[in-house]
Amino acid sequence: MLVLLAFLTISTMKGQTSFYDFTVDDIEGNPYDMARLKGKKVLVVNTASKCGFTPQYEGLEQLYRTYGEKDFVIIAFPSNDFLGQEPGSNEEIASFCSTRFDVSFPMMAKISVKGKKKHPLYKWLTEKSQNGLKDSRVSWNFQKYLIDEDGSLVGHYSPKTKPESEDIVAWITE
């Protein structure tokens, strides 16, 4: 038993954990198992309702409506980590996204994406020791992480990169 535990610990430290190993809460408080996304490309984005980048919700929705049928999904994680730009409750966030941007892609519960309270999924996304690719830090709202069909992190884009950018579209369609 100890040998198995040691192997699993070493495997995780070497970045062997997959995106599909995580379960998070959706915006309604229900468990959302990332394993349900196996075989799909996933764009993970931290969002906020009162940010200069908030209009990117429109681009995200357009991207999702255009490519969502082609084994692609967007997963949004509201976060209040940057200047209090997401102060609302999950219910308020869901209402805002629905009425203002007609968001149809999966929205998760509000989490922390940096600091001491960083959600384990974001630890995986930002720490090479866990994701096996590279270290990064979430610089602001609307940073985008790319997960391939095998559940591996393959890259990320800054908040300034629009969701419908040529690079992101090329990655989805390759």
Query: Over 50: is that where the pLDDT of 67 sits?
Result: yes
* Separation between Cα atoms, residue 9 and residue 15, nearest integer Å: 10
Q: Is the pLDDT of residue 6 over 50?
A: no
Average pLDDT score over the chain: 91
Q: Is the pLDDT of residue 94 over 60?
A: yes
Task: Give the pLDDT score at 17.
Answer: 80
Q: Any idea which architecture 2-173 has in CATH?
A: 3-Layer(aba) Sandwich (3.40)
Average pLDDT rounded to a whole number, residues 50-76: 95
Question: What is the pLDDT averaged over residues 2-22?
Answer: 56
Q: Does residue 97 have an active-site annotation?
A: no
Question: For residue 21, is pLDDT > 50?
Answer: yes
The pTM of the full predicted model, rounded to 2 decimals, is: 0.89
Q: Exactly one of 22, 51, 68, 123 is catalytic; which is it?
A: 51
pLDDT at 7: 41
